Amino acid sequence: MRTANSEPPPQAAGGIDSLRAAGGSSSSFSADFPPPAPPIGDGGGVVGESSLSNGKGLAELVLGAEGFDAGLRGARAVLEGEREGVGIARSRLLPQASASASRSFAGGGTPDAKRAGAELVQTFSLPRRESLRAAEKTAAAAAAEFRGQLQSLRARVVRGWLRAQLASDTLLLLSARKKTLGERLKLAEKLLAAGSALRADALRARARVFDVEAQRAQARNELADARAELERLTGAVPQLAKIAGDAEFAKPQPLAEWRERIAANSPRLKAAALASEAARFSLAAAEKSAYPELDVSLGAASDNRLRRFDERLQFSLRQPLYTGGRIGAEKRRLMANARLQDARLLAARREVGQQARQRHGAMESARARMRALSAAVAASAEALGAVDFGHRQGTRTTADVLSAEEELFDSRLQLRRAQYNYLENLTLLRELAGGVDDGFVVRVESFFAPGGDG
């Protein structure tokens, strides 16, 4: 039995890691899923991987999206550029060495002048040290932003995949409903022809058939839209599946625990906090740009005509006196930027906190609905059996049977939607906490058995 929201052991082999041809490491995951149950299908590994003739499984779609998405490539390029910026800022604190050589052709029998020299300069500058710290924080913020982009991309793929599976699952239920209604319609028409049923019963049955056809058309459109969105994100179409009958969704962890995880691991909050720190260090660099800088240089030079070799040690102190207002303007600009980054950090904390509360509440609501709807499905099935028996005995009408079947169908459909709603909100909640990792993707896919209606 597959459950959600319990602490899992280390990830088993054969999941998304086996698909990473580039050898990337799989990130760890925390609570929400237990060890995967034995797969339903014809092979080992993750459910949905054994037969991909009609599309790709969720793990493959996520892996494909990571190399296909242009936004993620852009975030990676920004990260690489910011890391190079750290190297540039660090190089300004290191000694700078240079060498020179020259030869002058005099002519007329005069010996050519040959000169050679070397110089080593070390600059001691407080603004440069602050600039290095700012560059390091900016690079760390870019790394957090990249992780956030990766989490968002994975979450979008998972949610799109879930929407495709919901539409496919709805089509399966509607197909079964259509078949049953077709049989009921034939029976109603037969009874009508025999004079033992009302014309209204046959008309109701026919109306239900038309209604199911309309719902099937809507579900097909939703499936086509979900497939198109996944193809845009990943360059591939999904394999259709349905939630396994033994899937069980455990009670979500308390909201306080989720908030702690989000505060500690949220890429968005980390990026905002690091950007705020980088703005502070940039402001400190601007404030210290009015401080003096000290250059210590050690040089050596030789001249063949003068037949001499010179060595020198030089100290140079530079103190800015007048810059045309540049230092003051730069300080004011960076102070405004620091306030902006602080405001963005505060807004991110408030927004993430509100989203966590909403998603957690939606998960609890979905789980409560699942419990209620599971009982409703059992009760509706029992009631349908009794009504159908009465119909065969002549004590119930076709309209009674249709109503009982409609109630059972609606309960099953609402149960499916509640299950998908639970998984979708769990995905969004884990995205906030930076937990949409390889293990989570594998566990989500393990809730599904291959097969669907396209």
Span 245-300, pLDDT tens digits: 656 777 888 999 999 999 999 999 999 999 999 999 999 999 999 899 999 999 99
* CATH number of the domain that residue 441 is part of: 1.20.1600.10
Bridge partners (DSSP) of residue 303 are: 115, 308
- Kindly report, residue by residue over 162-217, the tens digit of the pLDDT: 999 999 889 988 988 888 888 878 887 887 888 776 788 788 888 888 999 999 99
Tell me the residue range of the domain where 238 lies: 16-97+126-290+329-450
Q: Would you say residue 239 lies in a domain?
A: yes
Q: Would you say residue 249 lies in a domain?
A: yes
Annotate 308-344 with DSSP letters as a single string. Answer: EEEEEEEEEEE-----TTHHHHHHHHHHHHHHHHHHH
For 336-437, list the strands marked E by DSSP.
none
% of the chain surpassing 70 pLDDT? 84
Q: Would you say residue 77 lies in a domain?
A: yes
For 27-151, list the strands marked E by DSSP.
96-104, 113-124
Q: Would you say residue 103 lies in a domain?
A: no
Q: Would you say residue 1 lies in a domain?
A: no
Q: Would you say residue 321 lies in a domain?
A: no
- Kindly report, residue by residue over 394-437, the tens digit of the pLDDT: 888 777 887 888 889 889 999 999 999 999 999 999 999 999 99
For 15-112, list the strands marked E by DSSP.
96-104
Q: How many domains does the structure of the chain reveal?
A: 1
> pLDDT at residue 142 above 70?
yes
Bridge partners (DSSP) of residue 101 are: 116
Cα 454 from Cα 450, distance rounded (Å):
13
Q: Would you say residue 314 lies in a domain?
A: no
Q: Would you say residue 204 lies in a domain?
A: yes
The answer to whether residues 226 and 163 touch, using CB atoms and an 8 Å cutoff, is yes
Task: Read off the DSSP letter of residue 24.
Answer: P
pLDDT of residue 373: 92
